Amino acid sequence: MNWIYWAKLYDTKFQANCLRVRMEQDWWIRGYESPEEVEVFRVRSGKYGVRFSWDA
C-alpha cells in the first residue's frame, strides 16, 4: 500500500483528526472517489500528520 502524506503537520491530534474527517466527508459529499484509508500518525517531534491511500 502506498501512502500519500498531507504536507502540513499539526500541533494537536484534534487538529489532524479534524482534517481526517473533513477529507472523508468532502469526498463523500462532492461525489469524488473516497480514499481507501485515512489515518492520523505522530512524528518524533510530537506533531501529528494525516496520510491516506487509494486502491491503485
Torsion over CA of 27, 33, 38 and 44, rounded to 10 degrees? -90
pLDDT in tens, 6-53: 999 999 999 999 999 988 887 767 777 778 889 999 999 999 999 999
Question: Residue 49: CB partners within 8 Å, gap ≥ 6?
Answer: 5, 6, 8, 9, 10, 16, 40, 41, 42, 43
User: Structural domain of residue 20, as residue ranges?
Assistant: 4-53
Q: Is the confidence at residue 56, as pLDDT, over 60? A: no
Q: Are 2 and 56 in contact (CB under 8 A)?
A: yes
At residue 51, the pLDDT reads 95
pTM of the predicted structure, to 2 decimals: 0.81
At residue 45, the pLDDT reads 97
Domain count for the chain: 1
State how far the Cα of 43 lies from the Cα of 28, in Å rounded to an integer: 28
